[in-house]
């Protein structure tokens, strides 16, 4: 179960234009009490039924709530069928809905508490609009052109999509963007030996010092007009950050605890082969799911949550500024995964060198542009 006390509201819907017909779902996660929208999900489903689309909306909403680390979820839908079936009051007679109900039930088990409530359609407008948007986009119609007869509500499976950011092929303006220059710390003895290095506070090696100075030169080449340099609290990062700040000459280093490396627990200091020999089953589960933590450690899902919070803080504190972020492999990979709207397999396919540099821009409206990933020419 999730360990935080966060309580959210999930409003979900789905529909098809024809039953079956072209279908889509929508879901929103709202902060309990304020009603602030925290996440949105919507996607088209091809040709299927209203009920399948409604279940897909529920599944997408529950997954989004889990991403936020919610402990308690209040689900609100205008589908009497889904609400009654998930509450256990109605039997699931349609065999096509049983796998979807089972998937939703498995997600429900991951929370401390989940409630299901029916609401009239007029109170489910946010999710309804997203479902119609999904169907409109799939049909090539302008967003918002859905007619009342195509309203959502009344077996295809689809993965939830990332919240939609503005899409534009034109070169974006940097006037309102926050630029992040992501730098992995220089090499340590643990890095060179290929050992899990999480919360252990190991210093840079001689080679790592040279790499950090080279990274400082690359950062200065990207921009000398840097607003802030922020760092994980561990020495290998703060030292790298200090060398970068010294090269820039006009900023100091600010420590952000949220940027610390993943806690690898009992695996700290061991090689992958040593972990494979001693914890083969635990390692496989960890590799299969970002929600699984090493024994005594921290899951990537937890790391992602705190890193997202750090980025939100930086964007709010430094609008239209350039921020150097000095951190570790796991946080930087998770930042880039989210920025590129990639799946979890991305984490195992991306390699980040010690003192590698990546650059991305973030806009207030949710737009993101990744400009470079793991630059290393400065290390040669």
Catalytic annotation, residues: 185, 261
Choose among 48, 20, 64, 15: nearest CA to 157. Answer: 48
Rounded distance between C-alpha atoms, residue 149 and residue 228, angstroms: 53
69 conformational bin, left if phi > 0, alpha if psi -120 to 50, beta if neither: left
- Residue pair 32/131 in contact by the 8 Å Cβ criterion: no
Asked if residues 344 and 337 have their Cβ atoms less than 8 Å apart, the reply is yes
Contact criterion met (CB below 8 Å) for 64 and 41: yes
Q: How many CB atoms within 10 Å of residue 359?
A: 20
Helix (H) or strand (E) holding 233: none
What is the C-alpha to C-alpha distance for residues 63 and 347, in angstroms, rounded to an integer?
Answer: 19
222 with 248: CB under 8 angstroms?
Answer: no
């Amino acid at each position: 179960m999730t360990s935080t006390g966060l309580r959210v509201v999930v409003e979900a819907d789905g529909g098809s234009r024809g039953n079956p017909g072209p279908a889509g779902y929508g879901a929103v996660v709202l902060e309990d009490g304020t009603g602030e929208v925290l996440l949105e999900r919507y996607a088209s489903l091809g040709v299927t039924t209203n009920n399948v689309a409604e279940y897909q909306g529920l599944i997408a909403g529950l997954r989004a709530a889990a991403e936020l680390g919610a402990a308690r979820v209040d689900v609100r839908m205008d589908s009497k069928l889904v609400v009654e079936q998930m509450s256990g009051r109605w039997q699931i007679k349609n065999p096509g809905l049983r796998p979807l109900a089972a998937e939703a039930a498995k997600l429900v088990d991951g929370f401390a508490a989940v409630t299901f409530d029916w609401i009239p359609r007029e109170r489910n407008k946010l999710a309804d609009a997203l479902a119609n948007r999904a169907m409109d986009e799939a049909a090539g119609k302008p967003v918002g052109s859905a007619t009342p007869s195509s309203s959502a509500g009344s077996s295809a499976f689809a993965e939830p999509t990332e919240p939609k950011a503005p899409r534009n092929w034109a070169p974006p303006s940097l006037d309102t963007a926050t630029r992040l220059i992501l730098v992995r710390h220089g090499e340590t003895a643990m890095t060179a030996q290929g050992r899990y290095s999480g919360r252990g506070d190991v210093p840079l090696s001689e080679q790592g010092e040279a790499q950090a100075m080279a990274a400082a030169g690359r950062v200065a080449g990207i921009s000398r007009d840097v607003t802030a340099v922020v760092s994980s609290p561990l020495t290998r990062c703060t030292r790298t950050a200090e060398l970068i700040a010294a090269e820039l000459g006009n900023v100091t280093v600010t420590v952000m605890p949220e940027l610390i490396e993943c806690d690898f627990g009992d695996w700290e200091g061991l090689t992958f082969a040593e972990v494979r020999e001693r914890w083969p089953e635990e390692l496989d589960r960890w590799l299969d799911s970002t929600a699984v933590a090493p024994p005594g450690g921290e899951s990537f899902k937890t790391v992602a949550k705190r890193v997202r919070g750090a980025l939100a803080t930086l964007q709010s504190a430094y609008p239209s500024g350039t921020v150097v972020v000095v951190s570790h492999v796991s946080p930087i990979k998770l930042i880039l995964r989210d920025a590129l709207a990639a799946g979890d397999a991305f984490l195992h396919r991306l390699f980040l060198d010690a003192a590698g540099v990546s650059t991305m821009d973030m806009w207030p409206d949710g737009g993101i542009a990744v400009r470079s990933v793991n630059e290393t020419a400065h290390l040669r």
